[in-house]
C-alpha cells in the first residue's frame, strides 16, 4: 500500500504528523493523525504548589497560555473555596477578551489564512503570513499586526507579560487597571471592533464571493455530523470565561449541560498506541472509534462548535454576524469543518465587543481585586473556553501539594 | 547582499517562543527584507524532508527552542546543527530544560502511568501505552521514542549563543536579531540580553535590608507595591536571575520565577537562589531557622523552575 507522509503538520500550534495510506486503486484507504510528543504535565505537576499552577500549566500551550492561566486560576478559586470580588472577575474576563482578539487574529491570518487568501494552489513558499501581507497589502497586513500588538499590550498591562502572564491568584488577580490604562483599553477595544468587522468583510470578499471556495466549504469531504460542545451563559449564549458547558447532538438538540465539577460524568479520554495524544469523547455515548454520527461519542470543541452549542451571541454586532452565518449556511447546526474559520471571525467580533463593554464598566478600575483565601484547599475544577475548545483543569491537593488531574485544549 | 537564510524550530516546548518571535511586531517586515525564512513549522509549510535536502551549513542562523525529550527532537537538533552556521538556543527550554525539564523528577514509566492509566478522565481498561512502532491494518505507524530524561540543547549539540527567557521578551529577541542583521555578533557562547546582572538591577522596587522572619506563599499576602518582594517574604528569584527582561513579573506584584536563567559566572541557578534565600533569613537560632525554611514547600519547583536539566542535579534518582 502506498503511503503519503505529511511531517510535520505546519501552521498549527503543536506537533503533528499525518500518514495517508492509498490502496491499489490510488484511493485513500485510511489516514492517521499522530502527535509525536508528550511532556508529562499530568505527572510533573505532582509535588508543585497549587498556586503555581496558573504559571506552570500555561506552558502546555504558549499560543494560548492565557486559556490555561485562566482555567487554572478558576480551578484555584474552587480548590481554595474562595469567591473573587466582582471587579477581579471582570478584569479576568476583560483580559481574556483581549486575548481572544489576539489569538483568533493569529489563527485566522497567520495559521489558517494562507490557505484561503493565497488559495489551495499557491506555491508552498508563498503560503504564509508574508505571502498574505504581500497579497492583501500592507494596510490590512499592518492592521493585523496592530490588532495583535495592541491587544497584547492589554495582556501585558494586566498579566504582567505579553506571553505567559502572571496575574492569576486564587481569589482574584495581582494587578488592576488605573483610569489612564482603562482609557487606553477602551480605545484599543473600539479599534478591535472595527478590525473584527473588517476581517468579516475580508472573509466575505475573498471566500464567500468565490464559488470555488464555497463549494469546497460545503463539500462532503469537509463535512462531519458530530456532537458539539461550548460554554454558555444563563441565556445559552456563548461565553468564553464562565458558565456551564452545553453539548448539542448532530441534530442541534441539547444533549447535556454540565457545571465544571460534573465534567467526569460527561467526558472521558481514549488511548491509541500510535499517538501520544489522547482522544476525548462523550462518556454517556462511549468510544465507538473514529466515526461521526449520533451513535459515536466523538464531539467537536471549536469556534464552530461553540456557535452550534449556543442559542446566540451576547453582543449586538456579533449576534448579527451569527445570524448571517446560519442563514447563509442553511440553518443550525453547521457541520462543515471549514466554516470554523468563519465562526472564528464571528467570535472575534464578540470578543472585541465584550472587551469594549468591560472597558466601560464602572467597577473595572476598582482596587478591590483580591480576596485572600482562608479555607483549606482540597479539590477544584475549572473550565474556560480556550480558542480551540473547552478546557478543563482539575487539581487535588494533599497536605501541601497539588495534583492536577486533567488538562486538554 | 544575499539575504540571510533563517530557520526556526520547536522541540519540547509550548509555542510561546513562536509567539514571542511574532512579538517583534512590525519589525517582522524589516526582518523579511533582509532574511528568507526557510523553515518555521508554526508559520510556513517547509517539511522535514526539505530541511534534510538542504546542504550542510546552508542555513545562516537557526533559532532552536524547546528541550530534548524525544528521539525526534534529538534528531532535529543534530540535523539543524549540521545545516546551520550559527545555532542559537532560544528560550528557557532549549537553554536550561525549562518547565518540561521538571519531568526529570520522574521517568518515562511514571509519566506514562499517570498520563495514560491513572488520570481520572482516562478510560483505558486494556492498559494501552504509546508504542514507537505499531502495526495497523494498512501498514506500520511510528512515533518517536520518549526518553527518561530531558536534556538541554547544549547537552545534545554544540551551540553558538543563547537567547534566554520563557519566552524571551521582544526586546531581547530583537537585540539578537539586530546583531545578526548587522553582523555584529558577540563572542561564541554569549547569553544575549540587555543586562548580564540580576533582575533586581531592572526592578523599580525599593530595596533596603533583606531580613526575613517568614516566607509567604503568593496567595497569602497582598504585597506593598513599592518594596522589594523578597524583603516582604515572597520567594522572588530576581536576585539569582539574569536581567534584561525589565522585571515585568515583580511589576505585576508577583515574584520573578527565574526564566532568564543564571547571571553571568553562575553554573547552577537554583543553588545560587537557594544560597541567596539562606542569607536573608533573619535568625541564628537553629529551631527558628528550621521553622522559617519549613515554609518552603517545593524547593525544586521554586529554585529550579526552568533549569533542572541544566543544574548540577540534572534529575531525580529513580529506583
Domain residue limits, chain B: 4-99+148-181, 106-146, 194-299
Position A40 in a domain: no
Cβ-nearest to A49 among B12, B16, B217:
B217
Distance CA B46, CA A10 (A): 8
Position A347 in a domain: no
Per-residue burial over B159-186, b if 16 or more Cβ lie within 10 Å, else e, is bbbbbbbbbbbbebbbbbbeebbeeebe
Q: What is the pLDDT of residue B31?
A: 87
Do A66 and A200 lie in one domain? The reply is yes
Do A154 and A267 lie in one domain? The reply is no
* B190 has a chain A CB within 8 A of its CB: no
Could you give the percent of chain B with pLDDT greater than 70?
Answer: 100
Do A307 and A249 lie in one domain? The reply is yes
CB contact under 8 A, A400 and B297: yes
Q: What is the pLDDT of residue A399?
A: 64
* A375 has a chain B CB within 8 A of its CB: no
Do A207 and A240 lie in one domain? The reply is no
CB contact under 8 A, A29 and B138: yes
Position A22 in a domain: yes
Do A147 and A12 lie in one domain? The reply is no
Q: In Å, how far is A307's CA from the nearest CA of chain B?
A: 26
Q: Tell me which chain B residue has its CA closest to the CA of residue A66.
A: B16
Do A297 and A263 lie in one domain? The reply is yes
Do A191 and A53 lie in one domain? The reply is yes
Position A350 in a domain: no
Q: What is the pLDDT of residue A405?
A: 45
| Residues in chain A, overall count | 409
Q: What are the residues whose beta carbons fall under 8 Å from the beta carbon of A364, sequence distance 6 or more?
A: A87, A90, A91, A94, A177, A182, A358
Do A372 and A302 lie in one domain? The reply is no
Distance CA A113, CA A200 (A): 13
pLDDT tens digit sequence for A56-100: 999 999 999 999 999 999 999 999 999 999 999 999 999 999 999
Position A42 in a domain: no
Could you give the percent of chain B with pLDDT greater than 90?
Answer: 94
CB contact under 8 A, B102 and A44: yes
CB contact under 8 A, A271 and B129: yes
3-class secondary structure per residue, chain A: CEEEEECCCCCCCCCCEEEEEECCCCCEEEEEEECCCCCCHHHHCCCCCHHHHHHHHHHHCCCCHHHHHHHHHHHHHHHCCCCCCHHHHHHHHHHHHHHHHHHHHHHHHHHHHHHHHCCCCCCHHHCCHHHHHHHHCHHHHHHHHHHHHHHHHHHHHHHCCCCCCCCEECCEECCCCCHHHHHHHHHHHHHHHHHHHHHHHHHHHHHHCCHHHHHHHCCHHHECCCEEEEEECCCCEECCCCCEEEEECCCCCEEEEECHHHHHHHEEEECCCCCCCCEEEECCCCCCCCCCCCCCCCEECCHHHHHHHCCECCCHHHHHHHHHHHHHHCCCCCCEHHHHHHHHHHHHHHHHHHHHHHHCCCCCCCCCCECCCCCCCCEEEEEEEECCEEEEEEEEECCCCEEEEEEEC
CB contact under 8 A, A273 and B134: yes
* B294 has a chain A CB within 8 A of its CB: no
Do A126 and A200 lie in one domain? The reply is yes
Do A12 and A54 lie in one domain? The reply is no
Distance CA A11, CA A111 (A): 5
pLDDT tens digit sequence for B34-77: 999 999 999 999 999 999 999 999 999 999 999 999 999 999 99
Position A348 in a domain: no
Angle at A147 between CA A143 and CA A148, to 5 degrees: 120
- Domain containing A382 — which CATH number? 1.10.645.10
Q: What is the pLDDT of residue A406?
A: 43
Q: Collect all residues of chain A within an 8 Å Cβ-Cβ radius of residue B49.
A: 7
Cβ-nearest to B106 among A3, A34, A43:
A43
Q: Collect all residues of chain A within an 8 Å Cβ-Cβ radius of residue B298.
A: 47-49, 52, 401
Structural domain for A292, as ranges: 224-335
The C-alpha cell that represents A144 in the structure block: 493585523
Do A57 and A150 lie in one domain? The reply is yes
Q: Which class is B4-99+148-181 in CATH? A: alpha beta
Q: What is the pLDDT of residue A60?
A: 96
Number of domains into which chain A is organized: 3
Distance CA A66, CA B25 (A): 19
pLDDT tens digit sequence for B222-279: 999 999 999 999 999 999 999 999 999 999 999 999 999 999 999 999 999 999 999 9
Q: What is the pLDDT of residue B1?
A: 67
B191 has pLDDT over 90: yes
Positions in chain A short of pLDDT 50 = 400-409
CB contact under 8 A, A372 and B13: no
Do A230 and A103 lie in one domain? The reply is no
Among A276, A300, A335, give the residue marking a domain's end: A335
B212 has pLDDT over 90: yes
Amino acid at each position: 500500500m502506498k503511503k503519503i507522509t505529511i511531517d510535520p503538520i505546519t501552521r498549527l500550534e503543536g506537533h503533528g504528523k499525518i500518514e495517508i495510506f492509498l490502496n491499489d486503486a490510488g484511493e485513500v484507504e485510511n489516514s492517521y493523525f499522530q502527535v509525536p510528543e508528550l511532556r508529562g504535565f499530568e505527572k510533573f505537576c505532582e509535588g508543585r504548589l497549587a498556586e503555581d499552577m496558573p504559571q506552570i500549566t500555561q506552558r502546555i500551550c504558549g499560543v494560548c497560555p492565557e486559556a490555561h492561566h485562566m482555567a487554572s486560576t478558576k480551578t484555584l478559586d474552587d480548590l481554595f473555596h474562595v469567591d473573587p470580588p466582582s471587579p477581579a472577575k471582570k478584569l479576568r474576563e476583560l483580559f481574556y477578551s483581549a486575548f481572544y482578539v489576539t489569538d483568533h487574529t493569529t489563527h485566522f491570518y497567520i495559521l489558517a489564512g494562507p490557505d484561503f487568501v493565497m488559495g489551495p494552489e499557491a506555491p508552498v513558499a508563498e503560503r504564509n503570513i508574508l505571502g498574505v501581507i504581500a497579497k492583501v497589502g500592507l494596510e490590512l497586513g499592518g492592521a493585523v499586526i496592530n490588532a495583535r500588538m495592541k491587544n497584547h499590550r492589554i495582556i501585558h498591562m494586566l498579566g504582567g507579560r505579553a506571553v505567559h502572564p502572571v496575574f492569576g491568584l486564587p481569589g482574584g488577580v495581582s494587578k488592576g487597571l488605573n483610569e489612564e490604562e482603562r482609557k487606553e483599553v477602551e480605545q484599543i477595544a473600539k479599534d478591535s471592533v472595527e478590525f473584527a468587522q473588517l476581517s468579516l468583510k475580508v472573509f466575505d470578499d475573498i471566500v464567500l464571493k468565490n464559488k470555488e471556495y464555497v463549494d469546497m466549504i460545503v463539500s462532503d469531504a469537509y463535512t462531519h455530523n458530530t456532537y458539539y460542545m461550548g460554554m454558555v451563559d444563563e441565556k445559552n449564549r456563548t461565553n468564553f470565561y464562565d458558565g456551564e458547558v452545553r453539548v448539542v447532538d448532530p441534530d442541534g438538540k441539547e444533549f447535556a449541560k454540565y457545571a465544571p465539577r460534573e465534567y467526569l460524568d460527561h467526558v472521558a479520554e481514549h488511548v491509541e498506541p500510535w499517538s501520544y495524544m489522547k482522544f476525548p469523547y462523550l462518556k454517556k455515548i462511549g468510544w465507538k472509534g473514529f466515526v461521526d454520527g449520533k451513535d459515536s461519542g466523538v464531539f467537536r470543541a471549536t469556534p464552530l462548535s461553540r456557535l452550534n452549542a449556543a442559542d446566540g451571541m451576547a453582543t449586538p454586532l456579533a449576534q448579527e454576524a451569527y445570524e448571517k452565518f446560519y442563514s447563509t449556511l442553511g440553518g443550525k447546526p453547521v457541520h462543515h469543518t471549514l466554516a470554523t474559520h468563519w465562526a472564528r471571525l464571528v467570535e472575534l467580533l464578540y470578543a472585541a465587543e465584550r472587551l469594549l463593554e468591560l472597558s466601560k464598566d464602572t467597577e473595572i478600575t476598582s482596587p478591590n481585586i483580591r480576596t485572600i483565601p482562608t479555607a483549606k484547599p482540597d479539590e477544584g475544577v475549572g473550565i474556560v473556553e480556550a480558542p480551540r475548545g473547552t478546557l478543563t483543569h482539575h487539581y487535588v491537593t494533599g497536605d501541601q501539594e497539588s495534583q492536577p488531574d486533567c488538562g486538554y485544549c | 547582499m544575499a539575504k540571510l537564510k533563517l530557520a526556526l524550530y520547536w522541540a519540547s516546548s509550548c509555542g510561546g517562543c513562536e509567539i514571542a518571535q511574532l512579538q517583534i511586531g512590525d519589525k517582522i517586515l524589516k526582518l523579511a527584507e533582509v532574511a528568507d525564512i526557510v523553515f518555521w513549522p508554526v508559520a510556513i509549510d517547509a517539511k522535514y524532508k526539505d530541511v534534510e535536502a538542504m546542504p550542510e551549513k546552508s542555513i545562516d542562523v537557526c533559532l532552536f527552542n524547546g528541550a530534548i525529550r524525544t528521539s525526534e527532537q534529538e534528531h532535529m537538533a543534530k540535523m539543524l546543527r549540521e545545516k546551520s552556521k550559527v545555532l542559537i538556543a532560544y528560550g528557557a527550554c532549549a537553554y536550561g530544560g525549562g518547565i518540561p525539564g521538571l519531568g526529570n523528577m520522574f521517568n518515562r514509566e511514571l509519566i506514562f502511568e499517570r498520563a495514560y492509566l491513572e488520570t481520572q478522565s482516562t478510560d483505558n481498561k486494556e492498559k494501552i501505552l504509546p508504542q514507537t512502532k505499531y502495526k495497523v491494518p494498512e501498514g506500520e505507524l511510528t512515533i518517536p521514542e520518549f526518553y527518561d530524561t530531558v536534556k538541554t540543547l547544549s547537552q545534545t549539540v554544540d551551540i553558538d549563543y543563547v537567547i534566554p527567557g520563557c519566552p524571551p521578551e521582544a526586546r531581547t529577541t530583537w537585540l539578537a536579531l539586530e546583531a545578526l542583521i548587522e553582523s555584529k555578533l558577540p563572542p561564541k557562547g554569549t547569553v544575549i540580553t540587555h543586562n548580564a546582572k540580576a533582575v533586581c538591577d531592572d526592578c523599580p522596587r525599593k530595596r533596603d535590608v533583606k531580613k526575613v522572619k517568614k516566607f509567604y506563599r503568593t496567595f497569602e499576602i497582598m504585597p506593598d507595591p513599592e518594596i522589594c518582594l523578597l524583603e516582604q517574604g515572597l520567594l522572588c528569584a530576581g536576585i539569582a536571575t539574569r536581567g534584561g527582561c525589565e522585571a515585568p513579573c515583580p511589576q505585576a506584584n508577583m515574584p520573578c520565577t527565574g526564566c532568564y536563567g543564571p547571571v553571568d559566572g553562575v553554573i547552577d541557578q537554583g543553588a545560587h537562589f537557594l544560597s541567596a534565600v539562606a542569607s536573608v533569613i533573619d535568625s541564628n537560632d537553629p529551631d527558628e531557622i528550621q521553622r522559617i525554611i519549613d515554609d518552603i514547600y517545593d524547593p525544586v519547583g521554586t529554585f529550579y523552575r526552568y533549569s533542572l536539566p541544566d543544574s548540577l542535579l540534572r534529575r531525580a534518582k529513580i529506583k
